[in-house]
Amino acid sequence: MTAGQLLATGRSHSASVPAGDDQHDSRKAIMAEGLALAFEEHDAPVLANIDAAVHDGETVLLLGPSGCGKSSLAFCLTGLYPYAIDSHVEGRVSIYGKPLADYESGDIAQLIGIVFQDFESQFCMLRVEEEIAFCLENWNCPRADMDHIIREVLDKVGLNDWRHAFIHELSGGMKQKLALACALALRTRMLVLDEPTSNLDPYARRQFANLVTELALKEGLTLLIIEHQLDDWIGIANRLLVMDADGTIVYDGLPAPYFKHHVAEAKAHGIWLPRALELQQALAEDLSMVGKATDVSSRDFADIAEDADDPPLTEQQLLAKLSSLPRDAQATALSLLTPLKTKRSYTEDRVFLQAHELVFRRKGRAVIDGVSLTLRAGEWVALVGPNGAGKSTLASLLSGLTQPDEGNILLQGIHLHRYAERELRAFIGYVFQNPEHQFIADTVRDELAFGLRRQGISEEDVQSQVTDTLTRFRLTKIADANPFALSQGQKRRLSVAAVLTDSQQLLMCDEPTYGQDAYASKQLMDMLHSRVQAGSAVLMITHDMEWVEAYADRVIVLSEGQIRYDGSPASLWTEHASLLEANHLRMPMNYSVAGRLRTQLAEGGERR
């Protein structure tokens, strides 16, 4: 259900912006003073003493570690809490200078639209136009006006050709656009986007961010964006609001000063750094070492790490900084951006799994069409491709959760169907795309203990390992909570942690870093890496090519149910640019910057 559907109450009210108590307040789309939130009266607060504002027409990024209360803050600011859930909210919230309590719910829905983190949960109807019409009906929009409004908002988001389509037939990116269209249909002045692109492939992610940016510029929309991955949004942000793990605001200001002076603090809070800044930091360190080793004047490398400048936050800013270096230093930077990697060792002759000519059909259509592959001990394989390519379906087939219509799968030389279910699950671990699909216990603690108890180890050792896992995955504070009551990021951490406590040798992970902050993501990936080094194999589905570059030995590109590429990541980035583009993949930023820098150097050499 959309925010508009949730808040609208059958009567239409004027949503004109109130004058407010003074002119200063009226320029603030939202203002919070002393805001606090607890879900139970005597529980520790989720939010504490929040003072913050979002000004009319600006774009604000709300950052913070997973589970710190970012979504809860957004819901308090927009009136969903405590209206939609039993909770205790203290403090004062004003919208365009008028106290939130003085609004009727229909008014708020016309001023602020929300696209939830789980955007598919917003939909109530079967078809695209019906969904938007339902929003308008809750607003009590005259029926004679509906057709024009539906056509207008679908045109804005590029979905007019799918007006009569069933929602379940849309891709993930198209569903995101529909959720956005529902918000726009109510003529909102402000949009709140809660991790709006976390489930999208790189192409759809950039396309959605560009669409939102264009709409904001054209229509003067105010944006409050909750996001872990910053690269698609940092270039348009006017301001950052940064939260810590205790649910308080620790920074309110411009992006550049934060990432210049608070990098250590950001890392401590688990906040992602813009990839351009990470590359600059790595290059500054490497270039300094090269300068010392070759006795080159440090001035040749100074510009890349100059403290007086604002740090590069976007790819274009990093490229400009590198382009200002002397040509010799540029050439050195180019070699450092794409280093030759030593091939990770895995056992060629120890094959865990072989799949031959797999076919899987859904409603007569081949979702998986003639797929053959091999997975070996000690190997990390990334499975990538556009939304709807069949990646999750293939992983489900390989793990024995789904049966192929044609073809066969051998696990250690034995047909998969000959294994007892208990034997199969003891060898293959699976992290579902939806974490809730794998929860079986009533508490986080028992969820982690379940697999350990099945291994027959002592209860003392079970509790010791559970305690260690709770600490490593930052789940200690919620050890006795029901898994289904956690935030999306906490659910994902729990789902991965539960698999990693077991001893399976083949791990299938469907978007393991989805919804995670930087700290948790690095913890998860390093733990998987340790398992690979110990001889396990990992098949990881991901949209994040930076993780593929950092960890994978092999990458498989799946599109329309068929394998289009199976080889090394470096060869994919350097030799198959057209394949990347065709399959909605974005090469890691270091390769992208290197390619553009190489072109500039070549053009400069020709001019000379």
DSSP of 329-359: HHHHHHHHHSPPPPPPP--TT-EEEEEEEEE
Task: Inform me whether the pLDDT recorded for 24 exceeds 60.
Answer: no
Instruction: Please identify, among 267, 284, 313, the residue that sits at the C-terminal boundary of a domain.
Output: 267
Computed over every residue of the chain, the mean pLDDT equals 85
More confident residue, 556 or 522: 556
CATH number (domain holding residue 179): 3.40.50.300
Instruction: Please identify, among 247, 267, 287, the residue that sits at the C-terminal boundary of a domain.
Output: 267
The predicted-structure confidence for 59-108, as pLDDT tens digits, reads as follows 999 999 988 899 999 989 888 888 778 888 899 999 999 998 888 767 78
Q: Measure the CA–CA gap between 399 and 411, rounded to whole angstroms.
A: 10
Q: Measure the CA–CA gap between 222 and 214, rounded to whole angstroms.
A: 12
Residues 249 and 285 in one domain: no
Domain span at residue 528?
351-575
Residues 194 and 131 in one domain: yes
Residues 303 and 410 in one domain: no
Establish if 494 belongs to a structural domain: yes
Please give the model's pTM, rounded to 2 decimal places. 0.83
Residues 206 and 281 in one domain: no
Residues 163 and 289 in one domain: no
Q: Measure the CA–CA gap between 135 and 129, rounded to whole angstroms.
A: 10
Establish if 10 belongs to a structural domain: no
Residues 316 and 245 in one domain: no
Q: Measure the CA–CA gap between 191 and 56, rounded to whole angstroms.
A: 11
Establish if 7 belongs to a structural domain: no
Give pLDDT, residue 105. 65
Query: Is the separation of the CB atoms in 334 and 601 below 8 Å?
Result: yes
Q: What confidence tier does 26 reach under pLDDT thresholds 50, 70, 90?
A: low
Query: Is the separation of the CB atoms in 554 and 384 below 8 Å?
Result: no
Establish if 3 belongs to a structural domain: no
Residues 242 and 114 in one domain: yes
Residues 39 and 58 in one domain: yes
- Proportion of the chain above pLDDT 70, given as a percent: 89
Residues 365 and 284 in one domain: no
Is residue 49 classed as helix, strand or coil in its secondary structure? strand
- Taking every pair of Cα atoms in the chain, the longest distance, rounded to a whole number of angstroms, is 77
The predicted-structure confidence for 342-386, as pLDDT tens digits, reads as follows 555 565 678 999 999 999 998 889 999 999 999 999 999 999 998
Task: Inform me whether the pLDDT recorded for 567 exceeds 80.
Answer: yes
Q: Measure the CA–CA gap between 411 and 86, rounded to whole angstroms.
A: 49
Number of domains, the chain: 3
Establish if 586 belongs to a structural domain: no
User: In the 3-class helix/strand/coil scheme, how is 188-232 assigned residue by residue?
Assistant: CCEEEEECCCCCCCHHHHHHHHHHHHHHHHHHCCEEEEECCCCCC
Establish if 435 belongs to a structural domain: yes
Establish if 6 belongs to a structural domain: no
Give the contacts of 149 (CB within 8 A, at least 6 positions apart).
Answer: 132, 136, 141, 185
Establish if 587 belongs to a structural domain: no
Residues 510 and 430 in one domain: yes
Residues 541 and 521 in one domain: yes
Residues 314 and 202 in one domain: no
